[in-house]
A and B are shown apart, each in its own frame.
Chain A
């Protein structure tokens, strides 16, 4: 599975959109981009995933560049409950490889 690179941390103001970048320059054609988040020692929560096209669900939007070397997770209206570690994972089948993720802190 391809390695992903994320910023260590970022802050976001409550009510504003949070844009979380992820680089995956070695991603292969059959690997999806998955996003999970982990809120303080709870089990990771699935957010969204995509292959080529942009995706949106009730939690977030995923924007994948045309060359698939990077992506952005967008939380449209961040709330305090969105404070968590966000993981971007390039995944095709079987085992998920978690990196260090991005610690997102939403402030009032």
Chain B
């Protein structure tokens, strides 16, 4: 299984600011995913990030609010832009391994004041 790290592990931010979350994998992977988990809820997919192409966003998520970069096969970033308290969530990245199994990072806990 892949080893995935995320930075920062948690942050407290002010309304109207932006935060960029980094996801680093210890091996090259084609598909990376970003999820959001709002308090007390299950995980919701934000977008799929493939290297060399633009991210594919799920219904309800837009690039202006959640821009994603995927510069290489081991790294991706998710930016949460113009934050409001409703953006307070855990943000998780995952990668798809060789057997199509997805492995998840530890998550970034974001609180917006």
Chain A interface (Cβ within 8 Å of chain B)? 32, 34, 36, 41-46, 49, 87, 93-101
Contacts and interface: CB of A to CB of B under 8 A. Distances in A.
21 contacts: A32-B100, A36-B104, A41-B107, A43-B4, A43-B94, A43-B106, A43-B107, A44-B43, A44-B104, A46-B101, A46-B103, A94-B31, A94-B48, A95-B45, A95-B58, A96-B43, A96-B45, A96-B102, A97-B45, A98-B42, A101-B42
A42 B33 contact: no
B42 A41 contact: no
Contacts of B109: 41
A89 B87 CA distance: 26
Interface residues of B, number: 22
Given A36-B104, A95-B48, A96-B45, 10 more contacts: A43-B4, A43-B107, A46-B1, A46-B102, A93-B100, A95-B33, A95-B58, A96-B102, A98-B43, A98-B44
A98 B94 CA distance: 13
Contact of A100 (B42, B45, B104, B107): B42
Nearest to A89: B102
Given A95-B48, A100-B42, A101-B42, A42 B107 contact: yes
B67 to A, nearest CB: 19
Nearest to A94: B48
Contacts of B102: 46, 96
B56 to A, nearest CB: 9
Interface string B73-113: 00000000000000000101010000011111111010000
